[in-house]
Amino acid sequence: MTKHETVPEVVRNAWEAHALSLLTTVDRQLSAPLTHAISWVYAPSERVVRLAIDARSFLGAHLLPSTSVNIAVYAGETLYVVYGKVTRVVALDHVPFAVHCVEIDVDHVREAMYYGAKVSVLPAAEKTYDVRAAQKLDDQVFASMRAV
């Protein structure tokens, strides 16, 4: 498993293309892993990742400053896992409902695909509601995350 000290460009590009990602942290009540699919992920630099979540979501209560997290994303022909800690949680402006931006300082990134294999088809998610409304919301959320 190759280790990187910063987020590789291929991962940042995947997030710019709204790659499906998996965010994992710890459920504070159960002391067990907690994983959610996310698509609002943005890396303003090689050492910082921002993600947006609905402020009302179950996940929000578990993403407090100093919380350890990892984000898994398929990019290129492998699986990358970004490890870090939440540094701040900020309410986003200019979106139609309460959305929080979670900022994560990157500790390191690992390529986590098992030996002798490569990803031949990247997983993808499809919006199941009004595509224009979904694109408008995506644009609002990403613009607000960039402004944080």
Q: Stretch 25-34: mean pLDDT, rounded?
A: 90
pLDDT value at 1 more than 90? no
Cα–Cα–Cα angle for 61, 65, 66, nearest 5°? 115
pLDDT score recorded for residue 124: 86
Query: Is it the case that residue 108 has pLDDT exceeding 80?
Result: yes
For residue 2, name the pLDDT band (cuts at 50, 70, 90).
very high
Give CA–CA dist 137/148, Å, rounded: 17
**pLDDT for residue 133 is more than 80:** yes
The pLDDT value given to residue 58: 86
The pLDDT score that the predictor gives to residue 83 is 98
Query: For the segment 36-85, what is each residue's pLDDT rounded down to a tens digit?
Result: 999 999 999 999 999 999 999 888 888 988 899 999 999 999 999 999 99
Tell me, which fold does domain 3-147 have in CATH?
Pnp Oxidase; Chain A (2.30.110)
37's CB contacts (< 8 A; 6+ apart) are 20, 21, 22, 23, 125
Neighbours of 10 (CB within 10 A): 13
What's the chain's average pLDDT? 94
From first CA to last CA, the distance across the chain in angstroms is 33
Asked whether 49 and 102 are in contact (CB, 8 A), the reply is no
- The pLDDT value recorded for residue 13 is 96
Residue percentage of the chain with pLDDT more than 90: 83
